[in-house]
């Protein structure tokens, strides 16, 4: 996974990290309740055993733990383990039932991007930038996709300018400003280049 692709997925993981809760030590006995399964899963995640974490988190969800909390953790451990297909499945299954969860939708768009599915990522992000206008990272990722996968330089420029309007000192501000400045010298034909369906 190249650096830009990995950073795209990490956008989502950073967003999801804001939802982390207090971790309590796991008991030595087998977990019996959904809360105990969740705790065990979170502890395995902290220890870096992402496969065990995914198994316990999935069990916690099946046992009745609040799905939004569990899915955020499931996506994080799957992404960290490089299991993007599993992360995609968890995200899609959740978004199908809870389409208004913009944090998970952004995570899902980032996963599509990392998997090379620019069309799905673009579709998700174009909805998000309308419904969640204040989320700067959605504008930034949409700008990258429009630029790198669709050769839509004018669309990319608009998205990156919107990112800068929302996050003038954001993590990607220098990169966005640099590209916008360089794009001013592009030939006119470059802004109307072919678009990938």
Q: What is the pLDDT of residues 179-192, one digit of tens each?
A: 999 988 876 544 44
Residue 121 corresponds to which tokens in the numbers above?
């990522």
| pLDDT tens digits along 5-19 | 555 555 565 455 544
Q: pLDDT confidence of 69, banded at 50, 70, 90? A: confident
For residues 118 and 6, the model is more confident at 118
Q: What is the DSSP string of 119-183?
A: HHHHHHHHHHHHHSTT-HHHHHHHHHHHHHTT--HHHHHHHHHHHHHH-TTSTTHHHHHHHHHHH
82-102 pLDDT per residue, tens: 999 999 999 999 999 999 999
Domain boundaries, the chain: 1-116, 117-197
pLDDT confidence of residue 194 = 47
- 1-116, CATH topology level: 1.25.40
Q: Are 89 and 97 in contact (CB under 8 A)?
A: no
- Per CATH, domain 117-197 is 1.25.40: yes
In b/e form, how buried is each residue of 10-27, taking b as 16+ CB within 10 angstroms?
ebbbebbeeeeeeeeebe
């Amino acid at each position: 996974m190249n650096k830009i692709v990995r950073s795209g997925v990490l956008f989502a993981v950073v967003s999801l990290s804001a939802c982390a809760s207090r971790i309590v030590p796991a008991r030595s006995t087998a977990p019996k309740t959904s809360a105990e399964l969740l705790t065990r899963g979170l502890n395995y995640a902290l220890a870096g055993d992402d496969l065990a974490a995914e198994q316990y988190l999935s069990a916690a969800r099946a046992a009745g733990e609040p799905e939004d909390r569990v899915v955020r953790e499931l996506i994080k451990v799957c992404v960290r383990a490089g299991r993007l297909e599993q992360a995609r499945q968890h995200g899609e299954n959740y978004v199908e039932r809870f389409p208004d969860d913009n944090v998970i939708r952004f995570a899902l768009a980032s996963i599509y991007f990392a998997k090379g599915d620019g069309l799905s990522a673009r579709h998700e992000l174009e909805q998000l930038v309308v419904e969640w206008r204040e989320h700067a990272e959605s504008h930034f990722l949409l700008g990258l996709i429009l630029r790198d996968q669709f050769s839509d330089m004018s669309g990319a420029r608009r998205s990156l300018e919107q990112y800068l309007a929302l996050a003038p000192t954001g993590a990607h501000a220098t990169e966005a400003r640099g590209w916008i400045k360089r794009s001013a010298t592009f030939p006119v034909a470059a802004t109307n280049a072919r678009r990938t369906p």
